[in-house]
Amino acid sequence: MTVETEVAALTTAVNSLTSTVNVSKATLDAAAAEAVDAYDSFDDRYLGVKNSAPANDNDGGALLTGALYFNSTSNTMFVFTGSAWAAVANNNIINPNVALTQDLATNGNDVKFGDNDKATFGAGDDLQIYHDGSHSQIKDAGTGNLYIKATSGVLIQDNDTGTNRITTSATGPVYVYHAGDQKLATTSTGIDVTGTATMDGLTVDGNIQFTDSGSSNRNVLYLDDSDNVVLATGTTAGARGIDLYTNNSKSLSVAEGGDISFYEDTGTTPKLFWDASAESLGIGTSSPDTVLHLAKSSAATLRLESTATALATGGVLGAIEFESNDTGSQSGVNAKINSVFTNTVGATSLQFFTSDSFAVVDSTPKMVINNVGNVGIGTSSPNLNGFGTGTNGLEIADATLAGIRLNGNAADSMYFISGADKHWVYGRGAVPMTFSTNGEEAMQIDSSGNLLLNRSATFTTAKMEIQSDAGDASTLALNSIDTDGSMLEFYNAGTTVGSIGVKDGYLTAGNADAGLLFLGSGVKRIQPWSVSSNSGADNQIDLGYSTERFKDLYLSGGVYLGGTGAANKLDDYEEGTWTPTLGGGATATNMSGKYTKVGNLVTAYLIFENSTISGTPDYIVSGLPFTSVERTPLSVTYYRTFNTACESLGGFLTGNGNTMQFVGMVQGGNWVTAPLTAGSTRYLFATAVYQAA
């Protein structure tokens, strides 16, 4: 081998090694790059532990849907839904299905199922527990039985009140309740029912026997082997019969002698009784007096029923006939009562027939009660249409005179007669004719012809008397259907002396041109009125007369005198006392004041009578009851031991004030103020007439 060959081989080996090294480094670089990319992807999907929800990934980029982070504040794993973080732990999702390898503890939390989400048990979901949205269901949907087992007992109770519905006990009984009250309990021999057991039927395999506890040989009711119902009264001595009871009350009794009794609802009194020996039937009585005897405290009813299915006008619905068995010619039906259809829609009438002789019932009924309740005597088609269509009542028909006689006493009979040209209500004898309503006498025409309303005896000599009862709104009410005019007129010997009438809905009363109109409905006044013309009578009627005066007039308003203007109105009258006050601070005994006020005109009186004046009085006395409009003179009618220096004494009232000021005339004719003087036996009478402000 030459050096060149060795060098060439070495060169080839070095080149091969260099190529191999270069290839390994590229592979490593690629793997490292892939690892970096994988970590970055993992870092973008699991962001690690955070104390709050991050807004970006760890690189500051946008969050990826499905990214995770663990919240160290709530110790909860969160997943990013693409728009928000959601707690993974709250979803309680285990998917796919996981087989437990140990017990599952809820740690105080609930396992919640939505509507129609089921808790199922068994390989084929045999037992299912769920709520369907309306009801809770426990369903055994598989094979086998559903067992509910308990050590002490099983209780089904009301959720709200806790009251029992069905309970069991360890000792054996099962109890069923209604509204908390026990109604059924099982026993070792059957069931015990509290209350009433209602059944659609009862099937018994064997005989049913009811025996008298006092004797074993007195079977009273049983079903034999041939399904015959046997009623037997036994073989013991004494009265034997059959009694049937319903609701613990006797309903039917068959006595030993054949008498049969059906009892009313209390089971104490027979109401239908067959008397076997008398061959009589009593309904409502146990001692029938006739072949058929009906008795009841009220509304005893006998019904005759026709079974015909079609109605025919004139057809007889039912009849009662009265027949004699006289051996002579009178044998046969002597009278009858028919119920007859008067149309085809069920209207009926009652016809009463009698016979004149030979037991031949007349073909024309003597009396009829038709379908509307009219009673006809002497006519087969009674009606009172002449009095008013639809009026029902009694019609007695005759070609000449038809009437009714009420014969309480032959000498004092009462007649109602209708003839061709006259009608009478006629009472014989000197007795009153009385009309009563509601059991009380309302009107009477006495034997003297007096008319008494609501009275049984006269208390005046009037021909008509009307008396009201306590609490009645009025004694007499008159209603006029005319607009205006007289409603009640009064006469004396045929001559009008007065009337009561109406004008525009208001009452008028009076005679000729002297009357009054009474206005109400908000107007509330009485004014002069001419009854003859039914119009106002202004300034025509006097109130009172010079020798026929009224006494007192009580008014709450005023009186217009001599005119209707405001200045003519007198609306005030007053009398009273006032307390005089002496000027200068003086006082006096036996000093008084009086006044009379008519409108605004005041008359005031000042009186000192045997008075003693103390102090230093001046010429002023104040305290008048009303303020004077202007200065007004006063007069002194009498005085003594007052200011002897004055020849005469007078004074005036101050304007717009309430004081009297006294002045006197001294020798020479001058007027000066006249002070009152202190001392005893003082007399003064002063009068002031003034207008009050």
Tell me: do 171 and 256 sit in the same domain.
no
What's residue 237's pLDDT?
Answer: 45
Would residue 467 count as lying in a domain?
A: no
| Closest C-alpha among 583, 636, 642, 586 to residue 610 | 642
Tell me: do 232 and 286 sit in the same domain.
no
Please give the radius of gyration of the chain, using alpha carbons only, rounded to the nearest integer. 63
Q: Is 91 helix (H, G, I), strand (E, B) or coil?
A: helix
- Interatomic CA distance for residues 377 and 402, integer angstroms: 10
Confidence of residue 388 (pLDDT cuts 50, 70, 90): low
Tell me: do 623 and 680 sit in the same domain.
yes
Tell me: do 574 and 687 sit in the same domain.
yes
What pLDDT digit, counting tens, does each position of 320-347 carry?
A: 887 777 766 667 777 888 888 888 777 8
Tell me: do 573 and 648 sit in the same domain.
yes
Tell me: do 593 and 675 sit in the same domain.
yes
What pLDDT digit, counting tens, does each position of 172-206 carry?
A: 788 888 888 888 888 877 788 888 878 787 665 55
| Closest C-alpha among 550, 613, 548 to residue 580 | 613
Of 551, 579, 612, the domain-final residue: 551
Q: Could you tell me the two tokens for 549? A: 């005066």
Give alpha helix (H) positions in 475-582.
none
Would residue 146 count as lying in a domain?
A: no
- Interatomic CA distance for residues 558 and 571, integer angstroms: 3
Contact between 371 and 311 under an 8 Å Cβ cutoff? The reply is no
Highest mean pLDDT among 61-65, 108-112, 353-357, 613-617: 613-617
Tell me: do 265 and 365 sit in the same domain.
no
What pLDDT digit, counting tens, does each position of 9-48 carry?
A: 667 766 766 665 565 667 777 767 777 777 777 888 888 8
- Interatomic CA distance for residues 221 and 223, integer angstroms: 7
Exposed, middle or buried by CB within 10 Å (0-12, 13-18, 19+), for 196?
exposed
What pLDDT digit, counting tens, does each position of 542-601 carry?
A: 888 989 998 888 888 888 888 888 878 888 889 999 999 999 999 999 999 999 999 899
Q: Is 155 helix (H, G, I), strand (E, B) or coil?
A: strand
Reduced to 3 DSSP states, what percent helix, strand and coil does the chain have, rounded to the nearest 5? 10, 40, 50
Task: Dihedral sign for Cα 273, 274, 278, 281, please.
Answer: positive
CA torsion 427-432-437-441 (nearest 10°) is -170
Q: Read off the amino acid at residue 45.
A: R
Tell me: do 579 and 653 sit in the same domain.
yes
391 pLDDT higher than 80: no
Tell me: do 81 and 172 sit in the same domain.
no
What's residue 213's pLDDT?
Answer: 47
Contact between 531 and 513 under an 8 Å Cβ cutoff? The reply is yes
Tell me: do 650 and 578 sit in the same domain.
yes
CA torsion 161-163-166-170 (nearest 10°) is 120
Would residue 675 count as lying in a domain?
A: yes
Q: Could you tell me the two tokens for 534? A: 């039914």
Q: Read off the amino acid at residue 284.
A: G
- Interatomic CA distance for residues 656 and 606, integer angstroms: 19
Task: Dihedral sign for Cα 387, 390, 391, 394, please.
Answer: positive
Would residue 427 count as lying in a domain?
A: no
Confidence of residue 96 (pLDDT cuts 50, 70, 90): very low
216 pLDDT higher than 70: no
**Strand ranges across the sheet with 119-121:** 119-121, 127-131, 136-140
Would residue 428 count as lying in a domain?
A: no
DSSP 11-29: HHHHHHHHHHHHHHHHHHH
Of 382, 397, 412, the domain-final residue: 397
What's residue 609's pLDDT?
Answer: 95
Mean pLDDT, all residues of the chain: 80
Would residue 590 count as lying in a domain?
A: yes
Would residue 414 count as lying in a domain?
A: no
Tell me: do 573 and 684 sit in the same domain.
yes
Residue 254: give the domain boundaries. 245-295
| Closest C-alpha among 652, 651, 653, 654 to residue 663 | 651
What's residue 564's pLDDT?
Answer: 84
Exposed, middle or buried by CB within 10 Å (0-12, 13-18, 19+), for 366?
middle
What's residue 142's pLDDT?
Answer: 78
Q: Could you tell me the two tokens for 148? A: 């509910």
- Considering its fold, how many domains does the chain have in total? 7
Tell me: do 647 and 578 sit in the same domain.
yes
What's residue 403's pLDDT?
Answer: 76
CA 258 to chain centre: 58
What's residue 656's pLDDT?
Answer: 93
Exposed, middle or buried by CB within 10 Å (0-12, 13-18, 19+), for 181?
exposed
H helices then E strands: how many in the chain?
1, 53
Rounded to 5°, angle at Cα 520 from 515 and 558 = 75
Confidence of residue 643 (pLDDT cuts 50, 70, 90): low
Share above pLDDT 70 across residues of the chain, in percent, rounded to a whole number = 84
Comparing 75 with 607, the larger pLDDT belongs to: 607
In order of 13, 229, 482, 504, the CA distances from 531 in angstroms are 164, 98, 16, 13
Confidence of residue 127 (pLDDT cuts 50, 70, 90): confident
Would residue 126 count as lying in a domain?
A: no
